[in-house]
Structure 1
Amino acid sequence: MQDNDCIFCKIISGKIPSRKLYEDDLIYAFHDINPAAPVHFLIIPKSHIPTLSDASAAHEAALGRMLAKVGELAREAGCTDGYRTMINCGRVGRQEVYHLHMHVVGGPDPLPPMLVFER
């Protein structure tokens, strides 16, 4: 099921172009349009799941596929010595697009610390 107003659903359907890395019956992977690292792509389920908190047992196959495929896609993108995955959830988690998505970031140099808190 897709949401007609969701930008990621529009990318999956081809209404909005993307630089696709991978697609199968459950997931879609594409390059981020505003990369935060030399390698930065997203993996999304084809079903519209607004947040990780909205995922249920019905979504296990797509979520499992996302995790099972990330290593292969990261290596193909040049991340041979590691990468970072992130799933932001909700307002506090700074989720910007309300369609579950996994960021995969990496590059030839070590990434900065994951979180920096000011005290």
Structure 2
Amino acid sequence: MRFDSKDQKQDCVFCDVIDQKIPRQVRYEEENLIVFKNTLDWVPLMYIVAPKMHMSQTEFWCSPIFLQASRTAVRLGEEDAPNGFRLVSNFGIDAMQSQPHGHLHLLGGNHLGLYVDFPSKNEFWMNVYGQNPFEIEQFRGSND
């Protein structure tokens, strides 16, 4: 499974949030960018920072809007998690990327530790893909 194509827009949860088809708590919004509360609650502060235009993770990171998104994420992190925060992006199946729409995760609100430990991530992964994340060869494609 690769998240490179703009033709995946019709099945994009983030596009549905942007189009207000799915309700979300919006923290910040401007013409090209939206920041909303993630429905997952692994840490107290979990925001999604995303361009309003559907694009892949790579397209987002290489786009002019990325600078705007990263500056906004840092500002909101400093405001909402003054003791520290983390910005994270997942690229592809091995990184457990679950949404095709390019985005940043803004995490904070408590001590995150050396690495963020999300014990419920495996359960989430199972719900999304129906299998253990360590048995994902079918999503990578077969070498046979």
By the TM > 0.5 criterion, same fold? yes
1:21 corresponds, among 16, 27, 43, to 27
- Structure 2 SS opposite 1:65: helix
* Matches for 1:10-89 after TM superposition, within 5 Å: 10-52=16-58, 54-55=59-60, 59-60=63-64, 62-77=65-80, 79-89=81-91
Which portions of structure 1, spanning 4 or more consecutive aligned residues, are displaced by more than 6 angstroms? none
Q: Which residue of 2 aligns with 1:110?
A: 111
The structural deviation recorded for 1:115 is: 6.5
Percent identity of the aligned residues?
25
Greater helix content: 2
Cα deviation code 1:53-99 (max 9, x no counterpart): x3475x21x1111111112212332x112100100011111100111
Larger Rg: 2
Q: State the superposition RMSD in angstroms.
A: 2.1
Structure 1 distance, partners of 2:35, 2:73, is 9
Q: Which amino acid aligns with 1:10?
A: D
2:103 corresponds, among 98, 101, 104, to 101
- Structure 2 SS opposite 1:72: helix
Q: Which amino acid aligns with 1:16?
A: I
TM-score with structure 2 length normalisation?
0.69
Q: Which amino acid aligns with 1:112?
A: G
Structure 1 distance, partners of 2:61, 2:43, is 31
Structure 2 distance, partners of 1:92, 1:67, is 23
Aligned length: 111
